[in-house]
Amino acid sequence: MKTWDVIIVGGGIIGLSLSIALRKRGARVLVVERGEPGREASYAAAGMLADCTAETPEALQPLAIASARMYPEFVHELQDESGIDVDLREDGTILFPRPEHVHEGPKSLLPAPLSELEPGLATSNRMAVYLRERSVDPRALVSAALKAAKHREVDIASGTEVLSLLISHGRVGGVSTDKTSYAAPVVVNCAGAWAGQLELVKIPTRPVKGQMLSVVGLAHGPRHVIRAPEAYLVPRSDGRILIGATVEEAGFDKRTDAATIHGLHQAGIQLFPALREGRMLEAWAGLRPASPDNLPILGATHIDGYFVATGHFRDGILLTPITAHVMSQLITRQHLEYDISAFSPARFAL
Ligand SMILES: Cc1cc2nc3c(=O)[nH]c(=O)nc-3n(C[C@H](O)[C@H](O)[C@H](O)COP(=O)(O)OP(=O)(O)OC[C@H]3O[C@@H](n4cnc5c(N)ncnc54)[C@H](O)[C@@H]3O)c2cc1C
């Protein structure tokens, strides 16, 4: 029977990127994915790499900043190995902050007047801030990661659902699936919003639904990411403009709702009136993996050999490089460059 050093449960962007990082450290890795790799939250995401917003929880800021710094190199390598362009954009973000995040200070923190920076924006007297953030196309990113993982001889079992962990002599020995069992001395739960469905260790993830739409056909779309409390706009280099996103506690329900999509579309038009001229291309929803304190769940569990890397909520695309880096260090018993103790699964132990 074939064995591996590590089995990863879940082939989203977190599981795929971790598989590559572990492979680079010499491990033989199997990714077990219930559906097709990269078709859940990682496929639904907008791809903003928002590392410096007031909305990022303080405990997460060091990892968010480190991950944003790692992005160009991370993308460069994936593009090189896969031949897939992931549309890393460097134009930055124009942020209209939430009123509670606006403190005493200048009316606007922009390198140029708003009308010059982004001429299509509806004129407004709102406080605006320019952020040096990047964005990426998450669908292209997961395709690139999948191709790079295969290229590096990561094994991938698609269409296979992990039902339980195999435990022998008090430590993990592999996983049992709806088809067969796979053996490995290390298992990492990267099952996103579904991570809590694997028993033995309490991993209290819950799905937080996000609906979005995309529009095409504008003569002059926005160049920057535009982020406001009521909606955000994320331009892609192929002319698509994404408008997002709802944040809904709706269980494991990925349906879109026409009235909600219409509301988002209208909010987008209020920000950038030329969106009215565009044609709606697609509407979709995804399930963000959230945890009770909205922080990721990263680290070893009390079962020897069983690790968790999930709960990335609204920042999983941003946090992918640092998660892969630090989790691969932890699993291969290297010195950890970052303190991840605040994200330990042990904080939810009964
Ligand atoms: C609308 C929306 C917008 C977003 N925008 C952004 C953004 O702009 N920037 C950002 O950084 N993040 C954003 N996010 C968040 C980001 O998408 C997630 O944090 C990230 O994709 C999580 O990746 P993941 O690999 O953990 O989860 P997923 O991509 O959901 O992958 C988990 C995988 O595990 C598989 N799985 C589950 N259970 C099992 C099982 N028992 N056996 C085998 N396989 C299993 C699933 O099929 C799935 O493929 C957004 C999310 C949404 C929904």
Query: Does the pLDDT value for residue 105 go beyond 70?
Result: no
Answer yes or no: do 75 and 150 share one domain.
yes
Task: Note whether residue 88 is domain-resident.
Answer: no
Å from CA of 289 to ligand 1 middle: 6
Answer yes or no: do 283 and 298 share one domain.
no
Mutate to test the pocket of ligand 1, among 17, 205, 288, 291 (most ligand atoms within 8 A of CB): 288
Query: Does the pLDDT value for residue 54 go beyond 90?
Result: no
Contact 134 CB / ligand 1 (< 6 Å): no
Q: How confident is the model at residue 104 (pLDDT cuts 50, 70, 90)?
A: low
Task: Note whether residue 1 is domain-resident.
Answer: no
Domain end position, chosen among 248, 263, 290: 290
Provide the domain count of the chain: 2
Answer yes or no: do 101 and 180 share one domain.
no
Query: Does the pLDDT value for residue 49 go beyond 70?
Result: yes
* DSSP-derived pairing of the beta strands 171-177 and 225-227: unpaired
Answer yes or no: do 57 and 120 share one domain.
no
**Atom number in ligand 1 closest to CA 318:** 11
Closest C-alpha residue for ligand 1 atom 19:
316
Contact 308 CB / ligand 1 (< 6 Å): no
pLDDT digits 0-9 by tens, 69-91: 999 999 999 999 999 999 999 99
Contact 71 CB / ligand 1 (< 6 Å): no
Q: In this prediction, what percent of the chain has a pLDDT beyond 70?
A: 97
Task: Note whether residue 240 is domain-resident.
Answer: yes
Q: Check residue 107 and give its pLDDT.
A: 52
Least confident of 117-121, 154-158, 198-202, 330-334: 198-202
Q: Check residue 317 and give its pLDDT.
A: 98
Contact 68 CB / ligand 1 (< 6 Å): no
Mutate to test the pocket of ligand 1, among 194, 261, 287 (most ligand atoms within 8 A of CB): 194
Q: Give me the DSSP letters along 28-59.
A: -EEEE-SSSTT-SHHHH---EE--S-TTS-GG
Domain end position, chosen among 267, 290, 313: 290
Answer yes or no: do 10 and 126 share one domain.
no
Answer yes or no: do 304 and 216 share one domain.
no
Q: How confident is the model at residue 250 (pLDDT cuts 50, 70, 90)?
A: very high
Q: Check residue 316 and give its pLDDT.
A: 98
Answer yes or no: do 228 and 260 share one domain.
yes
Query: Does the pLDDT value for residue 44 go beyond 60?
Result: yes
Answer yes or no: do 223 and 194 share one domain.
no
Token duo for residue 213: 């739409």
Task: Note whether residue 87 is domain-resident.
Answer: no
pLDDT digits 0-9 by tens, 289-347: 999 999 999 999 999 999 999 999 999 999 999 999 999 999 999 999 999 999 999 99
| SS3 label, residue 291 | coil
Q: What is the DSSP letter of 169?
A: T
Q: In this prediction, what percent of the chain has a pLDDT beyond 90?
A: 88
Mutate to test the pocket of ligand 1, among 264, 312, 320, 343 (most ligand atoms within 8 A of CB): 312
Q: How far apart are CA 350 and CA 347, in angstroms?
A: 9
Domain end position, chosen among 290, 311, 336: 290
Å from CA of 234 to ligand 1 middle: 18
CATH of the domain at 123: 3.30.9.10
* Contact between 223 and 241 (Cβ < 8 Å): no
CA 307-162-31 angle, 5° bins: 65
Answer yes or no: do 154 and 69 share one domain.
yes
Q: How confident is the model at residue 200 (pLDDT cuts 50, 70, 90)?
A: confident
Answer yes or no: do 284 and 215 share one domain.
yes
Answer yes or no: do 57 and 151 share one domain.
yes
Query: Does the pLDDT value for residue 124 go beyond 80?
Result: no
* Contact between 300 and 306 (Cβ < 8 Å): yes
Q: What is the mean pLDDT of residues 279-293?
A: 97
* Contact between 231 and 267 (Cβ < 8 Å): yes
Query: Does the pLDDT value for residue 106 go beyond 70?
Result: no
* DSSP-derived pairing of the beta strands 155-157 and 134-135: unpaired
Q: What is the mean pLDDT of residues 209-225?
A: 97
Q: Check residue 170 and give its pLDDT.
A: 87
Q: How far apart are the first and last CA of the chain?
A: 37
Query: Does the pLDDT value for residue 33 go beyond 70?
Result: yes
Q: How far is CA 95 from CA 2, 87, 127, 230, 305, in A?
A: 51, 21, 9, 12, 43
Q: Check residue 191 and give its pLDDT.
A: 98
* Contact between 187 and 6 (Cβ < 8 Å): yes
Domain that residue 29 falls in: 6-82+138-201+292-348
pTM (2 d.p.) = 0.97
Q: How confident is the model at residue 102 (pLDDT cuts 50, 70, 90)?
A: low
Answer yes or no: do 66 and 164 share one domain.
yes
Provide the mean pLDDT of the chain: 95
**Atom number in ligand 1 closest to CA 311:** 26
Q: What is the mean pLDDT of residues 256-271?
A: 98
